[in-house]
Amino acid sequence: MQKLFLALSTLLVADVLAQFYFAGLGAFHLPADHEAFSLHAANSLVLQVLAVLTAIAAALARAGKGTIALAFLPALLKEVQYAIFALTELFVPEGVPRNAEGIPLIVDGAANYFIALHVLNGLTILAVSVVVFLRARRLAAHKDDAPVAVGP
Ligand code: HEM
């Protein structure tokens, strides 16, 4: 079970890195459009499923409650990404022109500062995934010992 936990946590880190790359694909695509982020949007679901599977594997590997919770955290933080988009609306002044999908065509000032938290939350997801991977690696290295919790 320790090996499964390690394999899944490795996949999780790789998938988070892919998520950053897919953000880059969208950002540098011309013409700039929503469709260019389709891989980024689809992979966010893969990332969420991987985080849940990693948390289950952590439980089966008896990694400790703290590590299980930490492995699950990226699945919750992915929802925070959507929450950041939704809350940004609070900072968009009334009357701002919007496209056919209702997305504001002007995002500046407070709305711009707030929506950029998406990137910091993405970095948090990466950091949490790396910590989980390091704990899984430590647990796998001790697989022949008596079961040990690798975190609080
Ligand atoms: C682990 C990190 C990240 C996760 C889980 C994540 C997740 C998401 C999700 C769920 C959406 C909404 C997709 C949709 O249904 O339309 C989204 C959109 C977006 N993300 Fe991320 N994101 C991450 C990192 C980043 C980073 C690092 C950047 C930029 C540097 C970024 C830029 C964007 C942009 C610009 C959009 C809006 C794209 C559009 O639909 O026009 N994301 N992200």
Q: Mean pLDDT, consecutive 10-residue segments, the chain of 152 residues?
A: 97 98 97 93 98 98 97 98 97 94 94 98 98 97 66 67
- Which residue's CA is the closest to the ligand 1 atom numbered 15? 41
Cα–Cα nearest to 10, from 18, 152, 75, 59: 18
Say if ligand 1 is within 6 A of residue 74 CB: no
Where do we find the tokens 């790359």?
21
Q: What share of the chain is helix, strand, coil (3-state, %, to 5)?
A: 75, 0, 25
Q: What is the pTM of this model?
A: 0.92
- Sequence letter at residue 26: G
What is the predicted pLDDT for the residue at 25?
A: 98
- Sequence letter at residue 24: G
